[in-house]
Amino acid sequence: MDFLYKAGIIAWSFLVRTAALFNPKAKQFIRGRKNWRKNLASKIETNASYIWVHCASLGEFEQGRPLIEEIKKRYPQYRILLTFFSPSGYEIRKNYDQADIVMYMPLDSPRNAKDFIRIAKPQKAFFIKYEYWYFFISELKKQNIPLYIVSAIFRETQPFFKKNLQGRWYGKILHMPSHFFVQDEKSAQLLQSAGVSRVTVSGDTRFDRVAAIAKAAKDIPLVEKFSSGNPLLIAGSTWKPDEELLTEYINSHPLKMVVAPHEVTPANISQLEQLLKKPFIRFSKAAEVNPEEYQVLIIDSVGMLSSLYRYGTISYIGGGFGVGIHNILEAAVFGLPVVFGPRYEKFREAVELKKEGGAFSVKTYEQMKEVLDGFLNDQLQLEKSSAACTAFVAKNTGSTNLIITKVFNK
């Protein structure tokens, strides 16, 4: 199986190199790993001690970020080496100031793993959530370098738990890390059924991250003026199917809405505007007018969403009619009831918050209308859902402290 896995990595690498001829993201993937040995060696400080944190992409980075920042705060003697697998993570966070080195993780091979660890000499390694690269994990084990899997979550359908040759091979990986910090009890039980006992149910570090974001939320006076004390729906990371439902509702109701599309390209913003029959204004133009006179404020720039939620009454999170919903915790931390589309089952926080009465899934316009009308017409229902969101985030914070205490204070 080692040979088949290695052959699969080689074949996949060849396909990416071919795709790089016409795909910009694949080109970044290949170019970013060019001469990685030389680049890493030039950045490593010979007498420094490094903690290696690896994230697949941007979402996993948000889970790893609280851990990085707490290590920097408590243990400043360590340098942070941060690696990404995906260009979408690296390109956005390559200048992250809490990491001393940010780079792509080399492709998983025996030679790459051995050379990377020889050059970096990490004292400890943290892999976030889903990253199980066999040769890198094996080499860390050989070198007696502790590896911790953070915010992990497991499902019965994963190859680790299959009763066949593939399952037995993947199962070997589970016995190599020093400890698993998992999100829920079910994941812990699955690991224990596979004979892995070094497990702690620590929850999801993203809760710590959104709590920190909420404390650092920026003031946006223009949004406050736009809402002018009225109930306000904040629609974040929306796609076309989300926007079709939202605009149908707004077009026939007096509720004010701030909408932050997932894609802020001119074409996408124009497409959204064409759906609206009520007065709307783009954020980039709102300072030139009296925003109170408009019913819809369209956010046509990035980086504002997490601070926008503080001004809301209700939130709608996009993506639930596509591959899956975006981050609901950034809204829930401010006590906003959360509404989203039907594809949310893979997101533990959405499933659990729905059970708690703070989140609501809709498939049709009629369902959306029922949920939103319920909030607008029943203040008690709104307050109960809001309290459920606040309590849910509060009871799930503290994962980062638990992990650091267990890892560093043995």
pLDDT of residue 255: 94
Amino acid present at 26: A
Residue-wise pLDDT tens digits, 82-107 = 999 999 889 989 999 999 999 999 99
Range 223-231 contact pairs with CB under 8 angstroms and sequence separation of 24 or more: 223/258, 223/297, 223/308, 223/311, 224/311, 225/291, 225/292, 226/256, 226/258, 226/286, 226/291, 226/292, 226/294, 226/297, 227/256, 227/311, 228/292, 230/255, 230/256, 231/255, 231/256, 231/313, 231/314, 231/376
Residues 375 and 237 in one domain: yes
Residues 201 and 223 in one domain: no
DSSP 8-state secondary structure symbol assigned to residue 161? G
pLDDT of residue 167: 79
Residues 184 and 256 in one domain: no
How many whole angstroms separate alpha carbon 91 and alpha carbon 338? 30
Would you call 49 helix, strand, or coil by DSSP? strand
pLDDT of residue 161: 84
Amino acid present at 407: V
pLDDT of residue 211: 92
Residues 376 and 237 in one domain: yes
Tell which residue, 104, 68, 112, has the closest CA to residue 88.
Answer: 104
Residues 204 and 282 in one domain: no
Average per-residue pLDDT in the chain?
93
Q: What is the full per-residue pLDDT of the chain (410 aa) written as tens digits?
A: 777 888 888 888 889 889 888 888 889 988 989 999 999 999 999 899 999 999 999 889 999 999 999 999 999 999 999 999 999 889 989 999 999 999 999 999 999 999 999 999 999 999 999 889 999 999 999 999 999 999 999 988 888 888 888 878 888 899 999 999 999 999 999 999 999 999 999 999 999 999 998 998 899 999 999 999 899 999 999 999 999 999 999 999 999 999 999 998 999 999 999 999 999 999 999 989 999 999 999 999 988 899 999 999 999 999 999 989 999 999 999 999 999 999 999 898 999 999 999 999 999 999 999 999 999 999 999 999 999 999 999 999 999 999 999 999 85
Angle between helices 58-74 and 206-215 (to 10 degrees): 70
Residues 144 and 124 in one domain: yes
pLDDT of residue 203: 92
Domain holding 385, by residue range, is 219-395
Residues 187 and 230 in one domain: no
pLDDT of residue 58: 87
Residues 192 and 320 in one domain: no
Count of domains in the chain? 2
Residues 206 and 172 in one domain: yes
Domain containing residue 76: CATH number? 3.40.50.11720
pLDDT of residue 299: 95
Distance separating the N- and C-terminal Cα atoms of the chain: 36
Residues 235 and 374 in one domain: yes
How many whole angstroms separate alpha carbon 249 and alpha carbon 253? 6
Residues 248 and 208 in one domain: no
Domain containing residue 230: CATH number? 3.40.50.2000
Residues 248 and 370 in one domain: yes
